[in-house]
Structure 1
């Protein structure tokens, strides 16, 4: 059985129940990328080769209908 922890005020920051699923997913993805890059920068050294945009591009899942048609 899965036991979920109770939501905290921090979990709900910026949450908009009227927003579309795509917009909510984009917001969460941006936060994850920002948090990861902040953590990476905090390590020091030469970690400036990746930023939020590059990280988001690495995990891009959109596809076009044209690409789907070429697979048929």
Structure 2
């Protein structure tokens, strides 16, 4: 084999390997969700309400010890 044939064969082999590798790569698509994203904040609000009720209950018990 001559040098030209070897280089042509090497270039052809590299081109074939490149095209095979490119054709096998997965396609990734990024799409927005169909429904809007909701964030549930009920836990924080519940904790604030519970804290206020507990503070009020402590105040009521200290101000009126004969209730219970």
| TM-score (normalised: structure 1) | 0.35
Taking CA–CA contacts closer than 8 Å with sequence separation of 6 or more, which of the two structures ends up with the larger relative contact order?
1
Q: Which has the larger radius of gyration?
A: 2
| TM-score (normalised: structure 2) | 0.37
Q: Which of the two has greater helix per residue?
A: 2
